[in-house]
Structure 1
């Protein structure tokens, strides 16, 4: 359950960049196991859907519709906005502090092409632990990444790639930084444009 919980949070994509017009974008990522994927559907800052797929079957989906965030699992729909607000309130009363990871990024000089997008390979040190990330330049994916980081920042739980997405949002040395790979646990497979049905976001 914890792995699904973390994946659900990571895959929660909400995209910022309000007041900007975007084409509908669908991004697919390989996560953890080879048979596990995250499919992110983005219409605009208020309409984002993230689906978790394993062995060809869809599991939990996270949906942002307006100011609300929902977790959809089959016919069950949970208002995550209210649930996590309550959880964070309980954590605050219990004196549980949120994590503030120390992240350092160093260019390796190597390049890697993933899903047709070429990015630079960086060594990422987070609280003393070493990771590898590939960062490219792509406006659509950059906004998706900012949305993911913003969602994770407002929720309970942890995720190494999620923490890095939050940090990447503050980087000003790379224009439109897009995370193409974080170790082998989060790897972009494809990104496509095409109209997404409104029904994908209307879960209530």
Structure 2
């Protein structure tokens, strides 16, 4: 996993804690790797990520689905069922969210406030120096973090979505970055030059935007 990417997965007791919190509907757009991605959420269990071409991903109650259209008709793929049908291989080779922002359970080695601030997408955050360890070794990255509720919710919604999409079990490491940010009540606005939130706002989307438009199936052309 490249050192330039800030990674995390959000599961277990953390998800339970987030579910108990009071959430406000919101949406955000960020840029990463020269691409852009939009995310909308109601809570950590209800997240939508829109991708290019009108396709989108839904996370509902810890389950992830990909919604596309074929011949003008919606098609819903149950990513958890697809992983099972492929003997677990889809966990590593299945669909992944484009323009990935923060992802995975890297171990937090050190997080230090620099005393400097930066405004990103209209939200003032503090610049931190973060040292972390992943499969490739140890890396350091400058991150802009904020306790603004919208930034916190967006980050937690993304972590929960990545956990559902990857089918990961979250592990038991106490020093995971996702847990550290949740405990500190911080959200991510920028990570180095690779990830930056461009817009973020509160406001509900239409109820149907979080509903499955068709019966899910494990694989294209296979009914459940």
TM-score normalised per structure 1: 0.68
Q: Structure 1 pair 125/60, CA: closer, same or farther in 2 (3 Å)?
A: farther
The 1:167–1:126 alpha-carbon spacing in structure 2 relative to 1, beyond 3 Å, is: same
2-side partners of 1:16 and 1:61: how far apart? 27
- Aligned mate of 2:151, from 130, 141, 146: 141
Q: Hey, what does 2:50 align to over in structure 1?
A: 51
Equivalent of residue 58 in structure 2, options 47, 63, 68: 63
Deviations 1:5-53 (A, max 9, x none): xxxx99xxx99732444332111111210xx211111123432101124
Q: 1:101 to 1:168 in 2, by over 3 A?
A: closer
Q: What is the number of equivalent residue pairs in this alignment?
A: 174
Give per-residue Cα distances to partners, 1:54-90, cap 9 Å, x unaligned: xxxx454210234432012334421113234566846
Q: Residues of 2 paired with 1:147 and 1:45: CA distance?
A: 5
Classify 1:49/1:137 alpha carbon distance in 2 versus 1 (closer, same or farther; 3 Å).
Answer: same
Q: Is the alpha carbon distance of 1:59 and 1:167 closer, same or farther for their aligned partners in structure 2, counting shifts above 3 Å?
A: farther
**Residue in structure 1 matched with residue 128 of structure 2 by the alignment:** 122
Does residue 202 of structure 2 align to residue 193 of structure 1?
yes
Matches within 5 A, 1:1-204: 17-33=18-34, 36-53=35-52, 58=53, 60-74=55-69, 75-84=74-83, 89=88, 101-103=106-108, 104-127=110-133, 128-156=138-166, 167-171=177-181, 174=184, 176-203=185-212, 204=214
Secondary structure at 2:204 match in 1: coil
Residues 27 and 200 in structure 2, CA contact (< 8 A), matched pair in contact too: yes
Unaligned runs of 5+ in 1: 1-8, 93-98, 159-165
Shift of the alpha carbon at 1:117? 0.9
Higher RCO (C-alpha 8 Å, min separation 6)? 2
- Residues 131-162 of structure 1 show CA distances to partners (whole Å, capped at 9, x for unaligned) of 2210011223213322322343455499xxxx
Alignment RMSD: 3.5
Instruction: Please report the TM-score for the alignment, with normalisation by the length of structure 2.
Output: 0.63
